[in-house]
Amino acid sequence: MLKKIAKLLISMLWPEIKKFLAKYIKEFLHWLEKKLKDVFTKRNDRNAQEAESLAEQANQNAEQTANPAEAEKWKAISAVWHEVAEKFRKENEFLQRELDSIRAEAEAKTQDNLKALEFYDAFEVSSDDIRVIENRPLLDGGKP
- pLDDT one digit per residue (tens) for the chain, 144 residues: 667 777 788 778 888 888 888 899 989 999 999 999 999 999 999 999 999 999 999 999 999 999 999 999 999 999 999 999 999 999 999 999 999 999 999 999 988 888 888 877 777 777 677 777 777 665 655 444
pTM over 0.75: no
End-to-end distance of the chain based on CA atoms, in angstroms?
Answer: 31
Q: E-strand spans in the chain? A: 123-125, 130-132
Q: With both helix axes pointing from N to C terminus, report the angle between 2-64 and 68-116 in degrees, rounded to the nearest 10.
A: 170
Rg (CA), the chain: 28
Cα–Cα dist 3/22, whole Å: 27
